[in-house]
A and B are shown apart, each in its own frame.
Chain A
Amino acid sequence: MSTFAPPTSISTHRVRRDVPAVEVRDLRKTFRRRDKKAHRFARKKPWPALHDVSFEIARGECVAILGQNGSGKSTLVRLLSTLLIDDGGEARIFGHDVVREAGAIRRLVNRVSVEASFFKRMSPSENLSYAARFYGMTPRQTHSAIPEILEKVGFPADRRGEAMENLSRGMQQKVALARALLTSPVLLLLDEPTTGLDPRSKLEVQEFIRQVRREHDATILLCTHDMNEAEVLADRVGILDRGRLLFLEPVADVKQRFGVETLEEAFFAATGREFVEHEAEDGDGADDEYREVFGG
């Protein structure tokens, strides 16, 4: 298998080596939303998504943040992706402030989210070309880089020209991984990258994440509610509960600290609640927006 070479157009000299990859200090974010049962003209109430979250990630490290739906994981990823503006505290990526120096950060970061998110009528190759141009990759560069990265994620060559809407969820997620890797990010934000995938696709994606760590100079922040995934992929694991980061330590230290055998038990010990998946309320205003768009 060939090693994927980063495009020369992506400036890497701005990556500082004397600072942590990610520094988050007392980060806060509060949304305003209506109660689900309230009428549509009811006043919106504050909905804290992140409470004074602080942590650091060293360069080359893979850190997993675990949390249930609505715990604030996606809000954290979106803040680090420059898609949200915080209400307090600060976040820095390779020394750059995520709000004031968003432009510098955008060259360094890419992400994979739970939804593959592509132009559905366009093919994988066309979608990847579109994404790559934003990072300065020319048609000459993507002509070879796209087939190479798709091969690397195990995407069949004969389906590169097919519309995305005809591909399975697992296939789409592989293209999403290819999109993130194509621009050679030094920080990769993975927000539930395997949620909804069949077991085989899930294992393939996890193996690819390991491969990325082996072959690229990439730091990875993995947000997931899959405790096993966090345990097998990450150097350190943290639990985000209702917007608060309870801890961020190596798995062995977490188990030792709480005197437990599993991360589920550690979650129970830390919060007094079972770690169960449920349709919790999303803390970033999705329901309000849904109501606004669809009149629900």
Chain B
Amino acid sequence: MGEYALHARNQLVGLAGIVERNVYLTKRYILWDVAFMVWTIANTLTIVFIARAAGLDAARENVLATQLLVGAVIWAYLGIIFEFMTETVAWERWEGTIEYTFMAPLSRVVHLSGQGAFAVLYGLIRATILFFAVVAFIGLHVPNANFGAALGVLAVGSVSFIGVGMMTSVLPLISPEKGAQLGFVAQGIMLVVSGVYYPVSVMPHWMQLIAKVSPATYVIRGDRAAIVNGAGMAWGDVWPLLVISVGAIPLGLAIFRAGERYAKKHGKLKRSG
């Protein structure tokens, strides 16, 4: 095997190793996962029941409830992607393995992509369970839903979410606790401007401007149209996601590399506590 082929093979094995590690951790913490799942379903129900209280006829109530549900599911999905990406460094630092991981011959793009790949897989499973659990509980009807298009929009959007997540994942490397805090702030801002439970047009103008560069805006709009109206993947939602993805991944990696260099220069690349 040539040197480049061997290198590529080793990197792929390393990527699989990150996914495998997360599978092990999920198995070890499975009861926490069940608890969070129940909590998320309960929380989503509190939002979707708002449609019942709106005093609408049955058909319009069903549409409003479905719109709210799509918003809540995307919120939960994005939360998982952001949590996994932002906590990439924080988990390793907390467990004490950070030095071993960062001195291993695994490229940073593969390292972060592995974490992103598992986050997408794990997030999709949870989002699917959440969606159908609430649909069954409330008795929603989604006869026109185009699940293929909804998944397609989510898949394209996930790339840009991972890119933005890469940018925030560097924060705990520079400042362990403040970094994690800023990650939550970034996640919150992205979601609030993206029209999770309401149209973007109801927000102040300056928030609408931020919404234009948030990938969540296009994912929520595209998925809502696909689930409620049975729409296909609209180019108007896809092209902004592609543009953001093309920019966000290289920018996220560049920011992470700069942060890693800063951490190495200042002795921050080490375990804490």
Contact = CB atoms under 8 A, between A and B. Distances in A.
A128 to B, nearest CB: 11
Given A11-B6, A129-B17, A134-B17, A115 B103 contact: no
Interface string B240-273: 0000000000000000000001001111111111
Contacts of B106: 134
B9 A9 contact: yes
Contacts of B269: 83-84
Contact of A285 (B9, B13, B28, B268): B268
Nearest to A116: B96
A284 to B, nearest CB: 5
A284 B97 contact: no
B60 interface: no
Interface residues on A, range: 35 or more
B99 A135 contact: no
Given A82-B103, A290-B272, A129 B95 contact: no
A138 B29 CA distance: 25
A115 B269 CA distance: 15
Nearest to A103: B105
Contacts of B43: none
Contact of B3 (A11, A111, A122): A11
A84 B17 contact: no
Interface in A86-102: none
A286 to B, nearest CB: 7
Interface in A165-183: 179
Given A83-B264, A85-B264, A130 B21 contact: yes
Contacts, number: 127
Interface in A48-91: 75, 78, 81-85
A145 to B, nearest CB: 13
Interface of B is mostly: helix
With most chain A CB atoms within 10 A of its CB, the pick from B9, B14, B267 is B267
A133 B102 contact: no
Contacts of B20: 129-130, 133
A78 B129 CA distance: 45
B25 interface: yes
A82 to B, nearest CB: 6
A121 interface: yes
Contact of A83 (B28, B99, B105, B273): B99
A284 B92 CA distance: 19
List of 4 A-B pairs having minimum Cβ-Cβ separation, nearest first: A133-B17, A136-B10, A134-B104, A117-B96
B100 interface: yes
Interface in B91-147: 95-97, 99-107
Given A115-B96, A121-B28, A130-B20, A135 B267 contact: no
Contacts of B175: 292
B104 A121 contact: no
Contacts of A289: 176, 267-268, 270, 272
A29 to B, nearest CB: 8
A83 B102 CA distance: 7
A250 to B, nearest CB: 30
Contact of A115 (B9, B264, B266, B271): B271
Interface in B54-109: 95-97, 99-107
B177 interface: yes
Contacts of A137: 13
Nearest to A183: B104
Contacts of B9: 9, 136
